[in-house]
Amino acid sequence: MKKKINVDDARVGMYLQELGTSWINNPFWRKSFLITDAKDIASLRAAKVNEIWIDTAKGLDVHRVVDSPGFVDTRPAPVPLSPDSLDNRTAPVSLEEELARAAEICGQAKEAVTSMFREARMGNTVDAAGAGQLVQEISDSVARNASALISLARLKTADDYTYMHSVAVCAMMIALARQLGLDESQVRAAGEAGLLHDMGKALLPMEVLNKPGKLTDAEFAIVRQHPQLGHDLLRKTTGVGDMSLDVCLYHHEKMDGSGYPMGLDGDRISLFAKMGAVCDVYDAITSNRPYKEGWDPAESMRRMGQWADRHFDPVVFQAFAKSLGIYPVGSLVRLTSGLLGVVTQQNTATLTTPVVNVFFATATRERIEAYALDLSEPHCTDRIMAREDPTKWNFPDLHALWLGEITGKST
């Protein structure tokens, strides 16, 4: 049930549906969410929000004594949400279940990052509190199913690249941090670092940032300034953590010292900057850009493995491969049977036996009715024989084969 209440009656455990005020006063990036921290309520009051709409079907109701003669509140006291109840928002779900929620988060995140870049261009500082709320939404989605949001963010258009790249790196940093066994405070800090790592690009000339062709040496020299520009911007922003500053400045450093802006090498690069480097490169090479098509996820993982000793910390890269899979969701693969399929789900026990949506027989070069094949099942004798280059096959509905109903096409 939807109900309008005074902000003074808000409490942890309520589900905030919307604000009873203009969107301009909204202190959060997200439109609706479960209030799990008293700081959220403090943010509402600080933004001078007087009324909010709550949904009592998704969270707690108001329970207070009304100060009027003869009034007796006969409603039962609400049962406080237990930590287990709050953790339900991160309970693991299938890719199919999470895709719709992930798509909504991606849409909100794109608007939020676009707004942050716009504010930076106007000379304003970044809203670190708002960024934190967005990171929490992304973190919850990654906890439910890491492949959903990460794979969706990869499908950005060339025009969306600058903004959605930040969202994708945020999600991958969160997944990688968990794979490395970092605690949840570090996981959130890693997500914030990923979200803010490219803020310096907001201060680059638009004609250079959006150039559809290859950059000249002079233009690339300008682009190489973005880590320092972003670092300077974030240092002026209250509430930005040290990890975000570190990743922003050093995510283009390489293990062999050939990176920029400082030419750091090996152990002189922090763990978090090494994480940022891997996530940044993977999203860059798998995304469509104005001057090139993105590589297939599995092919990208293979090539990055070849660069690992020179560009990436091997331990960090191995953890990254485990977090996404050797054959990430969306990879086109050939099975030993000669069938082609698209990877739709990882198998945590072994990275070489994911779930594949099989749809094409190479022997007859004909489409077959798509079906899911779990390569980890004991009775399954098929295995992945090779990665396939999607550009050689030109399947028009390749993404729909793993996106399923979110694209309007059931597989």
Residue 292's DSSP bridge partners are 289
pLDDT in tens, the chain (411 residues): 788 888 888 887 787 887 765 444 455 555 567 776 677 787 777 777 888 888 877 777 775 434 444 444 443 444 444 444 445 678 899 898 899 899 999 988 999 999 999 999 999 988 888 888 899 999 999 999 999 999 999 988 877 899 999 999 999 999 999 999 999 999 999 999 999 999 999 999 999 998 888 899 999 999 999 999 999 999 999 999 999 999 999 999 999 999 999 999 999 999 999 999 999 999 999 998 777 888 999 999 999 999 988 999 999 999 999 999 999 999 999 999 999 999 999 987 888 999 999 999 999 999 999 999 999 999 999 999 999 999 999 999 998 999 874 433 333
Looking at the structure, tell me whether residues 265 and 337 fall in a common domain. Answer: no
Is 85 inside a domain boundary?
no
User: Which residue, chain included where needed, has tokens 């953890």?
Assistant: 319
Looking at the structure, tell me whether residues 101 and 120 fall in a common domain. Answer: yes
Looking at the structure, tell me whether residues 115 and 70 fall in a common domain. Answer: no
Cis peptide before 261 (omega within 30 of 0): yes
Show the tokens assigned to 134: 């967005």
Looking at the structure, tell me whether residues 175 and 264 fall in a common domain. Answer: yes
Looking at the structure, tell me whether residues 317 and 382 fall in a common domain. Answer: no
Residue 86: its pLDDT value, please?
A: 47
Non-local (6+) Cβ contacts of 11 within 8 A are: 35, 41, 60
Query: Which own/partner pairs from 379-382 qualify as long-range (CB within 8 Å, at least 24 positions apart)?
Result: 380/353, 382/335, 382/336, 382/337, 382/339
Looking at the structure, tell me whether residues 64 and 131 fall in a common domain. Answer: no
Show the tokens assigned to 380: 């399954």
**214 vs 291: CA distance, rounded Å:** 7
Instruction: Compute how many other C-beta atoms are within 10 angstroms of the C-beta atom of residue 304.
Output: 19
Residue 79: its pLDDT value, please?
A: 43
**60 vs 80: CA distance, rounded Å:** 7
- CB of 285 within 8 A of CB of 278? no
Please calculate the CA angle 367-404-31 and round it to the nearest 5 degrees: 160
Show the tokens assigned to 80: 């406080």
Which of 268, 275, 324 has the alpha carbon at shortest distance from 177? Answer: 275
Is 84 inside a domain boundary?
no
In the DSSP assignment, the letter for residue 289 is B
Looking at the structure, tell me whether residues 7 and 115 fall in a common domain. Answer: no
User: Which residue, chain included where needed, has tokens 């439109």?
Assistant: 31
Packed helices 146-154 and 95-121: angle between N→C axes, nearest 10 degrees: 50
Residue 27: its pLDDT value, please?
A: 56
Please give the C-alpha separations between residue 171 and each of 85, 86, 102, 302, 349, in angstroms, as whole numbers.
24, 21, 11, 21, 22
- 355 three-class SS: strand
Is 82 inside a domain boundary?
no
> 103 is in which domain, residue-wise?
92-324
Instruction: Say how many CA atoms lie within 13 Å of 143 toward its Cβ.
Output: 15
Q: What share of the chain is helix, strand, coil (3-state, %, to 5)?
A: 50, 10, 40
**358 vs 367: CA distance, rounded Å:** 10
Looking at the structure, tell me whether residues 336 and 319 fall in a common domain. Answer: no
**229 vs 199: CA distance, rounded Å:** 8
Last residue of a domain, one of 281, 308, 324: 324
Structurally, the chain folds into a number of domains equal to 3
> Rounded to 5 degrees, what are φ and ψ at 217?
-60, -40
Looking at the structure, tell me whether residues 319 and 357 fall in a common domain. Answer: no
Looking at the structure, tell me whether residues 34 and 142 fall in a common domain. Answer: no
Is 247 inside a domain boundary?
yes
- CB of 35 within 8 A of CB of 14? yes
Looking at the structure, tell me whether residues 97 and 23 fall in a common domain. Answer: no
Q: What CATH number is attached to the domain comprising 116? A: 1.10.3210.10
Is 81 inside a domain boundary?
no
Residue 212: its pLDDT value, please?
A: 84
Is 83 inside a domain boundary?
no
Q: CB-based burial of residue 163 (10 Å sphere; 0-12 exposed, 13-18 middle, 19+ buried)?
A: buried
Task: Write down how long the chain is.
Answer: 411
- CB of 310 within 8 A of CB of 258? yes
Residue 291: its pLDDT value, please?
A: 75
